[in-house]
Structure 1
Amino acid sequence: MKKVTVFWFRRDLRLEDNNGLAHALRQSDPVLPVFIFDKNILDQLDNKADRRVEFIHAALLQMQEQLLGRGSSLHVLYDTPLGAFRQLLKQYEITAVFTNRDYERYAIDRDEAIRTLLQEHNIPFQSFKDQVIFDQNEVVKDDGKPYTVFTPYSRKWLSVLANNPVTHYDDKKQRNHFLQQSPITIPGLRSIGFQAVDQPFPSQDLPKALLQHYGERRDFPSIAGTSKLGVHLRFGTISIRKILQQALPLSNSFVNELIWRDFYQMICWHFPQIGQGRAFRPAYDLIRWRNNEEEFEKWKTGQTGYPIVDAGMRELNATGFMHNRVRMIVASFLSKHLLIDWRWGEAYFAEKLLDYDFASNNGGWQWAAGSGCDAAPYFRVFNPTLQAKKFDPEGKYISKWVPEINDFGYPEPIVNHEMARMRCLGFYSKALKNSE
């Protein structure tokens, strides 16, 4: 059997500026690049035209082309992680396994199971920071405790960055230290039970002009003022370090969004209870949600009678994307106007968003519902009509997604705003009083 160092790709689907891969390539044994289509995850997806699986597949094909040019090949398995590593242990003499860290509950448990399996064979398992700028305890309070409020976290983050500039992990001397082998066929989408959708994916480009005007344009959904890089950052087809390097001299607002991303990933790591479906603030688990299924269906399909809410949901359903300002509006509407459990909305976004990321999705939903760390106070209830006037003043975004807005067929508002606001305040205050 061939002696190999395994590099396990997960949320880092690129060969360039990949921290764990760079470390693997410095080992004495050649690197076998591995990706696992995880049955534990894929078997839970009802939509067999899930564009995230298609995106991953396309990224793997691109990496395979690069690896073939270096005389190597990607080894792609369709199995559970444990099953896949048992296969690899039969095929190769593995001397070490390298990978990049993930901070979600499932990923942490998965990695522990693989670490235990490898320990039985005296094989070291090493993980590295790659998908965030700072992780674990790199940005914490002076007493070592994690931050739960964003503003002081962001100040500390920037001070840590000033003293620890980002490094890139391109080791050109080791570029060809991959295992030299014949091409291994990558399973087709259909062979793992999925199919392609004929829609383009967002570009990896981050134009200078977008960064320069990001602060003043980012809140207006009719303007192409956001990067749409979320899916690339989610699956690591682009380096977070490269994005930060481009943004630092041009846009504090954009850098701030990258800090939010790190913040939510570290909340996920420090407070694993959020990965078990619990509110960050336990008192909010006492809210007696109305959970009207008919109203939830109208929210999902964009038939609430509130044009900005309906436009957002229709954009999500049609494209797998929703503008960030609109995400906040529709999340607030579901949890506060309709008093439907934010977890219902979180799960629907998880099903539909191309750039779905547990930490950011959970953080955003709990922010909107008031139950999260550094959340909007429960008594702040967005008025969707005023939000539309402020952020879509000419109605361009709304008219694109709700063309029938002036027709008799467009529904009346599902709920009166002022009544819903007062009802929300009553429900929330009662739950919070009961927790005292």
Structure 2
Amino acid sequence: MKTHLFFLFILFIQLPLRSQSDYPKIRISEDIELIKLSEKAYVHVSVSEIDGFGKVSSNGLILVSKDEAFLFDTPVTGSQTETLVKWIADSLKAAVSTFVPNHWHEDCLGGLDYLHSKGVKSYANQMTVDLAKEHGKPVPQNGFTDSLQLNLYGEDVYCYYFGGGHSTDNIVVWIPSEKILFGGCMVKDIYSKGLGNLSDAQPEEWAKTIQKAIGKFPEAKIVIPGHGGIGGKELLQHTKELLQQYLKIKMAKEALIIIDIQNDYFEGGANPLIGSLEASENAKALLNDFRERSLPVIHIQHFSTRVGSTFFIPNTKGAEIHENVIPVGGEKVIAKNYPNSFRETDLLEYLQSNHITDLVICGMMTHMCVDATTRAAKDFGFTCTVIGDACATRDLKIQGSVVAASEVQKSFLGALSYFYSSVLTAKEYLVKME
């Protein structure tokens, strides 16, 4: 019996004590919600539009004692920060006195100007101070290097810089009395399948940094990521595993190439194809998968410059990339003038310099640019997978006869699958990657 009880005890202490849904929630506006962790600690969750990423939910931390509060990360906007600070004053009867951002991005210090206007003192990693100046962001007043200790009516708060990660300057905040670790964007929530925005990341350094956090805070009970649901120490381990997966993939990297999914190929465009909308939806599913796994995406955009061209004319709406596959920050966009995406572009140089070996290819038209690009890629030594239902084509004519688009599609995909590429549906590919 004692053995069974001991096993159950060990199992219990290995599990998170509470999930996010167990904590009381307080809605203070349409776009801000608070999660009450204790009488002194609250997570603020705000939703804002972030360039290149759409509406994003971001987390921050409030620590309050008596008539004073510390704030770690602001919402993205000054108006949201004002709403939050006023709620703290009205509902918790406390004034925000001190602010510390996790790093220099707008989802950490977007509301800093408002805080300064109210006399709030701000502290940050000196790297954050320097980067904020460099990028025209609100600038924290006081910098520190390795660590900073704060005290709120006897509550010790420690800010540590362990090294680069999501950004070069990201820190963590540790509140020992509450056993709360605010990891910010350096920590991923348990449902994250990838590392998110890597535009300023240092993945190799990140792996070392997260390991330092795991070793430093064995007593952490609540771990707060920059985005997504709160949890326990399992979030640190999950982030470590995502980094290991990313670094392993980087050794033999796969990339998605989306070819010419542009407005002229859709209804109302100058050269509409058969099934272009359905193909673009499948391409969108692939794009979302590559983004979730933090893998490279290359968008190919055709511009017709020859005399007599009737579609993809430069500086026209028809030449713009379709809304289903719009590039976001950091994704490579290559302009071309020929069916072969490698011809007179930097595509080959880009793939080789990023050590990419495997290509997943989709786009339009199947019988032209998809075909020409796939054959060239194979000749350059790449392993290719064409996603057939994320490609589209049109009826063709030969010697007075019409060849239906469906037959063109099957013929060209069949030819590619004979030697140049494997051919899968989007569903088959996505299931394979699970």
Q: Is the structural similarity TM-score above 0.5?
A: no
- Name the structure where helix makes up a greater proportion of residues: 1
- Name the structure where strand makes up a greater proportion of residues: 2
Q: Output the TM-score relative to the length of structure 2.
A: 0.34
Structure with the larger RCO, 1 or 2 (CA within 8 Å, 6+ apart): 1
